[in-house]
Amino acid sequence: FEFFSTDVSNKAVKEFLWENASGNVQFNFVVVQVGSTLHFYLLGDTTAVSGQKKSFTVDLTTYKVAGSPVLDDIEVSYAVGLNYLFVAHPYMEPIYIKYNPETDDLTTTQITLEIPERLKGAYTEYDYAYREVMNYLTLNNRKIVKTPD
């Protein structure tokens, strides 16, 4: 498919297929990270993906950890669970995204993780949160403290 017109030099570009967004098989998106922005393309049976770019985006800098470097040149990690899209990045707070087909819009929520008392001091809050989210996304063996409603 074809990107919208934008300069992608020195920017991370990573795509992901988000199937059954909102629990409905009619809503499958190609999610494309270009630098610090996520773009969404609706997949249809007969229409080219490039023509199905949605008007909504997610600005990842909203969730950037204070004092961290720019987000543009490092790829995010994606995962899907219970029809939500989970997004993690080394320099941002982890988030989950919910698609609402009735309003044709997204709701983005920051995931709040807590450091167990026994590990305080061993990790900064940010290092621990990123490690835990990555474990959850890749191994699905950790519990997120604040779960999607």
Per-residue pLDDT tens, the chain, 149 aa: give them.
445 556 677 899 999 999 999 998 899 999 999 999 999 999 977 667 778 899 999 999 999 988 888 999 999 999 998 889 999 998 898 999 999 999 999 999 998 766 666 666 665 555 655 566 655 555 443 344 444 44
Q: What are phi and psi for residue 103, nearest 5 degrees?
A: -105, -5
Nearest Cα to Cα of residue 55 among 81, 74, 37: 37
Q: How many CB atoms lie within 10 A of CB 130?
A: 22
Q: CA 121 to CA 33: how far, in whole Å? A: 33
Note the pLDDT of residue 87.
Answer: 94
Write the burial class of residue 142 (CB in 10 Å: 0-12 exposed, 13-18 middle, 19+ buried).
middle
The model's pTM: 0.76
Helix, strand, coil fractions of the chain, as percent rounded to 5: 20, 35, 45
